[in-house]
Each structure stands twice: as C-alpha cells, then as structure tokens.
Structure 1
Amino acid sequence: MARKSRRANVVQEKKEELQVFASIITQKQLATAAYARLSVEKENDESIQTQIELLHQYIQDHEEYKLVDTYVDDGYTGTDFDRPEFIRLMDDVRTGKIQAIIVKDLSRFGRNFIETGYYIETIFPCLNVRLISINDEFDSSRAEDRNSMVMPIKNMINEMYAKDASKKRVLSFEMHSQRGDMKIAKSIYGYYVDKEKNQLKVNLETAPIVQAIFRWYQMGKGTGDIVKRLKMLDIMTPFAYKATHEIEMEIPETDRWTGDRIKTILLNQSYIGSTVYGKRKAAKYRNMPEHHTDPSEWIIHENTHEAIVAEPDFEEVQERWEKRSDFMKESFRRGRSRWAGVEDSFPQKVKCMECGTTMTYMRYTNFGQSQGVRKGFYYCKEYDGKPGYCRQKVHEDLLKITVMDQIHHMIKVMCDKKEVLEKMKEGTCEKGELVSLRVKIQNMQYRLMKAEETSATLYENFATGLLDEQEYLALKEHYVQEKEKLTEGINQAQVRKRMVEKSIEEFLEVEKNLEQYLDDRSFNQKLIDELVDKIFVSSKGMIEVRMKCSDVFQKVMEIME
C-alpha cells in the first residue's frame, strides 16, 4: 500500500506541475509598444532615456506583454497629437501590429483633455487595444478605470499644466527679451558665440564674406550675381561652415548659396551691432503656432556687439532692397496681367536630373502666328561654379503629353488589376500573397490544434505507463516549443495579412477615383495636381515621372507576384 501511495503522490505532483506549466505557456502575450515623450518645455529633470528604461523594465516584469517596438517623441508638446512617432504608433495599432501601449503616465500620452479621453474611451476599445499608465495604475481594459472620474480630472490637470508651462516660458522669453539678457543659443554667419560673456564676437574668417556681400549689392549686383561670385570663389555656405567648424553635422548635397540666403544676410540688423528679439513667436497655451511677426513687434537692442557693417552702408542697402522689391512687385503684377490664362501646369514639380534643382518656368509668345500663341518652357539656371550653366530645357507641351501618357498608362494598369484584386480580397483567387497568407494561417492553426491535442494526452500516456519520465519530459518540451513557434507564426502572418488587405483597399480606393478618366485622353490639371509628385528631366532627353501613389501601386504589384 505504501508503494501505491508514493506512486499516487508522484502522479499528483506531475499533474500539478503540468497544469501550472500549461497555464503559463497558453497565456497569450500581447504585442506591446513602449511610448515615451518629453516636451520642449522640459517639465522636469527626467531624461527621455529614463522613461524608456522604466517602460522596458515594466514590460520585462510582466509576462503578458511582449515588447514589439519603442516609440519616442523627444521635444514634442503633449497638447498636440501631430507627433511623428505617435502617428507611426497609431498606424501600427490600426494594422494590428500593436495590441497594448505602455506609458509612464497619462501626461506622456497626451495633455489634451478631449483628445486623450477620445482615444481612451472610443478608439482603443474599438481596436481592442489596451493603454496602460504605470504611475497612474491605469489599464483601459478595466471598466472601472475607464468609467472612473479620476482619469478625466487628471487629463484636465495635465492639459492645464501644459498651458501654464507654455505661458511661463513665453512670459520668461518676453521678459529676457525686454532686458536684452537672453542667452545666445547659436551663432550668426560672420560671428561666433563667446559663451562665457554670452556675446557675439566677430569671426575673422566669415566676417569679410559678409562685408563683401554688402559691397557687391551696393555696387548694383543682384542676389543672383552675388550667388555666382560666391560659388566661383568656392565660399562655404553658412550651414556648411557651421557644420564644419562649430557642430558636427552632415552637409546635404542640396546645400548651396541661394538668393534667399543673400537676402537674409542683407536684411539682418545683427551686422550693425544690434540684437533683435521676437522675429518669430509661438504660444501653445493660446493655440498659437510658430509664425513670423511684423517688424513693428520686434524688440531691438542696439550696440550689443561689434558691428561688421557700417550703419550708413546698411541703411543704403535697405533703401536699395526696398526699391528693388517695389519694382519686382510691380513687374510681377504687370506680368500676371499680361499672361493671364497662361499658368504653370507643374509648379515646383519639374526637377533637373543632373543637379537636382527645381527648373524655372518661362513664358514666351510665338509671334510667327497672327495672334501670337503664348506658351511656356522649363529651364535649369543652376550655376555650378564653372563657365556656363546647366542649360537644361524642356518644352511645356512635351511634358504635358508625356505626363498624361504616364497617368493614363497607370490608370489602365490599375483597372486591369482591379478584378484580380477584388477576387483576391473575396478569397476566390488562386494566386497572390493574400491567398498564400490565408493558406499559411489555416495550416498553422491546424498544426497548432493537433499539437495541443497531442500535448494534452502526454500526461495520460505517462500516467498509464506508455511513456517513461524521460520520454514524457522530452515530448512535453518539444510540443511546448512547437506551440510557441506556431503561435508566433500565426500572429506574424495575421499582421502581414491585415497590412496586405489594407494595401489592397487603398489601391482599390485610388482605382475607383481614377476609373472615370480611363477613356479621357485630354489634359487634366486636376489629375496632375492629385497624382504627380515630381518630374525629372535629363539633358539626354529622358523624362521620369514620379507619382504620389507610387508606393501604393508598388505594394500591390508585390502582393500580386
């Protein structure tokens, strides 16, 4: 009897061990996102890295969560949900990649009372997504948390705090601006910052360049001519100089001297020793975005540092600039009146394939005909520092024909693919990635069901003596790993399936809007504006049209392969 009792005890212990183990492995882990945010106001001394470490540790300590990705908005206010990483997070939520979101506290998620409440009470329940706030001990999956009065009050306090912090920041800036003791954050071309004295000092390398720009303009040279001279002399741009001598930054290939940069230098009062505050303003607590202010609102402190340009020379340049601006405005007005009805069909869209510059639109009149036909062409006026220009030209009519041909070809291809995609979406098509994913998911679900059935009989076989302990433990481990592998594979395939379905829906939506133009071969400005992103023109006669919906088109082509 004693032997039988010990046998019964061993069996009972094994059974309890298996039940505990099974409960752990069958518990589904939620695909979890860690979201961290730190605003521009720097509410406290906490770093963004501290937040991330806290979130990762919380997920690691809770087995029901599996970290999929970390989303970080550093330097973004919580009153606005238009944050790049938050937008990426919500895209992943909608595709099913993310099932739970962990934040340090609700203020990290957002400080807008209405929008935060809308996400918690409406959006996340509809998407079956949990929002967990660590410090607030809040879990949106719990009805008592969602219905509690505490959360709305906290959200209101968070919003009020954000507005109060923004208001204090604005008032502090205005106070320091009035006193003229604002800390100088960055240098100006022609100067460097003496951090100990908090003062601009003349940069002996770049100050002569600034003086030369002023002299050339006084001599009657326009901004275009000044740009040519600077390029010919191989003078680094203000950004390139700063990136090379002050801060380590990569200089983009598109960085070059432009007329706007010359204008910025010619109109900058810093070069006569004055410091100007308030050229731009922003106040989040008033829902006021950053904007340029009227010169009458500027706060000017004179003689705050050594001048590079004499004040009489600076005033002469301002008078010349104002006269030139008035002349250009009047010329533009007359030109608009004369060329009424002749508009640029591809504004800011035509690029030179050789140098990357936006090509300039030029109008002309064909006087060979009795009435004169008014048309246009595009040319590249980029000067590369060597004799001559890029001299790239293309006629407007050629671009119209080429672009419309490309658009109609794309519409035709999309219409041809419509029937196949609809069948693929309905499940009646026998090929394509969506079909493969469905079959893959069904196969893995069947294998998972069989693995669960087999693993459920292991203990019974062990208890009846069909399996010894070593065989039982080995098979148990095998099926545990098999079920984990299959569960992970099913989750990944389902996420990919939702992404594919979303791509097909986007494609069909675009096709539905464009199908009406299939048989219309005429030029359509509306289609140009909606579909064309960029047009690249080569000196060898090649024209490349880049569509705005090319990514949607490419995704569907890959799905159908």
Structure 2
Amino acid sequence: MPNNPKVHYIPANPPKREKRVGIYCRVSTNSMEQIQSLTIQVSHLTRLTATVPQWLLSDVYMDIATSKTGSSRKEFNRMLEDCKSHKLEIVITKDVSRFGRDTVEVLDAFNQLRTLGVRVIFEGNSLDTANTSSDLMVAVIESIAQAENESRSENIKWGIKQRAAEGTSKLYDRKCYGYKHNENGHLVIDEETAKNVKLIYDLYLSGQSVVGIIKELAKRKILSPKGKENWNKRSIEWILSNEKYTGNVELLKSSKSEVHYLASGSHPAIISKEVFEMVQMEKGRRSNVVRDENGVVKRKDSKYSSKK
C-alpha cells in the first residue's frame, strides 16, 4: 500500500508594498486644542495608510505655526526635499488648508509636488491627483482654499466677539500709558506715568491747547510714552480721548458690527468719569468742525486757539 505524500503548507507571499507614503499635518498654533487636533490627524492618516497593502508609510511631517515663528514650513520643506530625493511617491494630508494660509500658498505647494510627479491626496476633501485632472484639481483647490480662508476669518472674528462677551478677552487688559501689568497680566496704575495723564487733563481743562500742553510737558522735562523729549499731537489727543482712563473698556467700537462690548470697572481709574466727560465737551466746543441743521459738515468762521 503506497505511503501518503507529505503535504507542506506554503502561504502566499504578502503583497509587496511599492509606494512610499508621507503624511503631512499642520496646525496654526501650539495651543492644547491644536496639539490634540494634530494628534488626531496623524492617527487617522496613519490608519488610512495601513488599509492599502501597496502603501508603505515612510515618514510623518508635522508643522506648528506659532506666534513667534509665523507660518512655519520647516517640516513641509523637509517633505519637499524627500520628494525631490524620490524618498516619497505619495503625500497625504487632511485637507487643502493644511498646505498653506491662503490660496496662493496652497497652489504653490501643490504645484511643486505635481511637478515632482508626487501623488497628492487631500483626504478630507476627497481630492486625489491620481483620479482628477490637473486643471480641475487647481480649480477645485482654489475654490476650497478660498472658502476655508473665509471660514477661518469668520471663526477668528467669532472668537474675538465671544471672548469680549464673556469678559475673558485679553484686549480688556491691553496696556496703555499710565498703566502697567501686574503678575497676573491685569492692568494696574503706574503711579509715575499716571500723574502725567492727570496733568494733561488738568492742563486741557485750564484752557491749554494741545500745542500748549506739549510745550508745558517739554518745559517740565516729561518724556513721551516712547521715551522721547518731544510729544506729538496725536499722543496728547489720544490720551484725552481714551475712555480706558475712567476704568471702562469698550471693545469692537470701531468695527462695522453694531454689537459692542463695554467692561465697566475692569481696572482702576486714573481719571473720573466727570472729568473725562468735561474734556470731551470742551473738545467739541473747541472743534472747528460743526454740522448744520441738515447734517452737513462745515467749518466755523473762527477756530479756538490758546497757543502759549
């Protein structure tokens, strides 16, 4: 009786991974929220790469644009060099906006990779240069980048308004002449310069003109906010118009939006509200510009002057 032949199990060869893939991620700040976003991007795109047997993850490139470095492109440039050296054949990123801050920057990055023959996949936008013509890709990228830039701008504006409404905006504690920051970053009175603010208000209410105040400050050897011997008219006028000296801060006042936010008593006052209002009334009285009964702007026949 013949012996049964020995049977050996020979597994199939695993598919060869032929395409070297680079993952590119970028966030706009180094805040905790953005760092978490960066981690999620890398994790998601790594899993995506692993689902395609022919892809081999070669490297991960991560840029973080901080307020100090601006639009950091260090990792993008390293990725570009690896593409030039044929270390990468495919670049995957979350969406179009990761390639730059504006449409020009995005298209420049895309065109560089296209010239190198590197396949680019914008996973979140479902865009792939392997499946889309170059002209259509450029057109789609332009429209998406523009829309995302507009959305980003609106988000920034919304964030500013939201923080202003909640009273958490750092703009409330923006330093100006007469104040300094304490250890917590809040405004406190700088006694040395605050007395000069009071002097400017007193001089104006005593009849001095802006030019007259400048001469008096020079006579007393009081340096300007920038440390110069001579003050300019704009600095004096700004101090005489800044409601912040009453302890109040109004945000978004100069915006086109009708919504404004006023924080009352957000910091110590240098000038009383009564004195501030008296100065504003006096400025109006001295102004050479008036409106007639029809709202037409015109100049007075004579202009107030108290140059000394």
How high is the TM-score relative to the length of structure 1?
0.33
Which of the numbers 162, 165, 169 marks the counterpart of 2:152? 165
The residue number in structure 1 matching 2:112 is 131
2:170 is paired with a residue whose SS is coil
Distance in structure 1 (CA, Å) of the matches to 2:205 and 2:34: 51
Distance in structure 2 (CA, Å) of the matches to 1:220 and 1:309: 18
> In the alignment, is residue 222 of structure 1 matched against residue 187 of structure 2?
no
Distance in structure 2 (CA, Å) of the matches to 1:41 and 1:321: 46
Which of the numbers 294, 317, 331 marks the counterpart of 2:279? 317
The residue number in structure 2 matching 1:274 is 248
After superposition, give the CA deviation of every residue in 1:280-320 in whole Å (9 maximum; x if it has no partner). Answer: 33xxxxxxxxxxx59x7643222222111122211111110
Cα distance change of structure 1 residues 262 and 38 upon mapping to structure 2, 3 Å threshold:
farther
Shift of 1:223: 0.6
Shift of 1:256: 4.8
Shift of 1:61: 3.7
Distance in structure 1 (CA, Å) of the matches to 2:194 and 2:149: 42
Distance in structure 1 (CA, Å) of the matches to 2:199 and 2:176: 16
Shift of 1:227: 1.3
Query: Greater helix share, 1 or 2?
Result: 1
Distance in structure 1 (CA, Å) of the matches to 2:148 and 2:112: 22
Query: In 2, are the aligned partners of 1:201 and 1:306 still within 8 Å (CA)?
Result: yes
After superposition, give the CA deviation of every residue in 1:384-412 in whole Å (9 maximum; x if it has no partner). Answer: xxxxxxxxxxxxxxxxxxxxxxxxxxxxx
Shift of 1:150: 4.4
Query: In 2, are the aligned partners of 1:109 and 1:116 still within 8 Å (CA)?
Result: yes
The residue number in structure 2 matching 1:258 is 232
The one-letter code sitting in structure 1 at the alignment partner of 2:152 is: A
1:280 is paired with a residue whose SS is coil
Cα distance change of structure 1 residues 306 and 109 upon mapping to structure 2, 3 Å threshold:
closer
Which of the numbers 194, 199, 215 marks the counterpart of 2:186? 199
The residue number in structure 2 matching 1:208 is 195
Shift of 1:168: 2.2
Which of the numbers 14, 32, 57 marks the counterpart of 2:78? 57
Cα distance change of structure 1 residues 41 and 315 upon mapping to structure 2, 3 Å threshold:
farther
In the comparison of the two structures, how many residue pairs are matched?
A: 222
Distance in structure 1 (CA, Å) of the matches to 2:29 and 2:235: 28
1:237 is paired with a residue whose SS is coil
> In the alignment, is residue 190 of structure 1 matched against residue 190 of structure 2?
no
Any gaps of 5 or more consecutive residues in structure 2?
1-25, 36-63, 87-92, 122-128, 292-296, 303-308
The one-letter code sitting in structure 1 at the alignment partner of 2:113 is: I
Query: Map of 1:170-181 to 2, 5 A cutoff?
Result: 170-181=157-168
Distance in structure 1 (CA, Å) of the matches to 2:30 and 2:259: 24
Distance in structure 2 (CA, Å) of the matches to 1:318 and 1:214: 11
Cα distance change of structure 1 residues 62 and 111 upon mapping to structure 2, 3 Å threshold:
closer
The residue number in structure 2 matching 1:364 is none
Query: In 2, are the aligned partners of 1:41 and 1:165 still within 8 Å (CA)?
Result: no
1:209 is paired with a residue whose SS is helix
The one-letter code sitting in structure 2 at the alignment partner of 1:276 is: E
Cα distance change of structure 1 residues 313 and 175 upon mapping to structure 2, 3 Å threshold:
same
The residue number in structure 2 matching 1:555 is none
The one-letter code sitting in structure 1 at the alignment partner of 2:112 is: L
Distance in structure 2 (CA, Å) of the matches to 1:168 and 1:59: 30
Distance in structure 1 (CA, Å) of the matches to 2:265 and 2:34: 36
The one-letter code sitting in structure 2 at the alignment partner of 1:193 is: H
Cα distance change of structure 1 residues 136 and 177 upon mapping to structure 2, 3 Å threshold:
farther
Any gaps of 5 or more consecutive residues in structure 1?
1-36, 66-103, 121-129, 241-252, 282-292, 336-561
The one-letter code sitting in structure 2 at the alignment partner of 1:263 is: E
* C-alpha RMSD of the superposition: 4.4
Shift of 1:111: 3.6
Cα distance change of structure 1 residues 60 and 169 upon mapping to structure 2, 3 Å threshold:
closer
Query: In 2, are the aligned partners of 1:41 and 1:169 still within 8 Å (CA)?
Result: no
Distance in structure 2 (CA, Å) of the matches to 1:321 and 1:53: 53
Distance in structure 2 (CA, Å) of the matches to 1:136 and 1:210: 63
2:113 is paired with a residue whose SS is strand
Higher relative contact order structure (alpha carbons within 8 Å, sequence separation ≥ 6): 2
Shift of 1:195: 5.2
Shift of 1:322: 0.8
Query: Map of 1:431-510 to 2, 5 A cutoff?
Result: none
Cα distance change of structure 1 residues 327 and 137 upon mapping to structure 2, 3 Å threshold:
closer
Distance in structure 1 (CA, Å) of the matches to 2:210 and 2:290: 13
> In the alignment, is residue 47 of structure 1 matched against residue 69 of structure 2?
no
Distance in structure 1 (CA, Å) of the matches to 2:34 and 2:138: 22
After superposition, give the CA deviation of every residue in 1:125-151 in whole Å (9 maximum; x if it has no partner). Answer: xxxxx533799738xxx9987636445
How high is the TM-score relative to the length of structure 2?
0.56
1:187 is paired with a residue whose SS is coil
Query: Map of 1:273-312 to 2, 5 A cutoff?
Result: 273-281=247-255, 298-312=260-274
The one-letter code sitting in structure 2 at the alignment partner of 1:217 is: Y
Distance in structure 1 (CA, Å) of the matches to 2:211 and 2:75: 55
Distance in structure 1 (CA, Å) of the matches to 2:164 and 2:141: 34
Query: In 2, are the aligned partners of 1:272 and 1:310 still within 8 Å (CA)?
Result: yes
Query: In 2, are the aligned partners of 1:106 and 1:155 still within 8 Å (CA)?
Result: no
Percent identity over paired residues: 20
Query: In 1, are the aligned partners of 2:248 and 2:262 still within 8 Å (CA)?
Result: yes
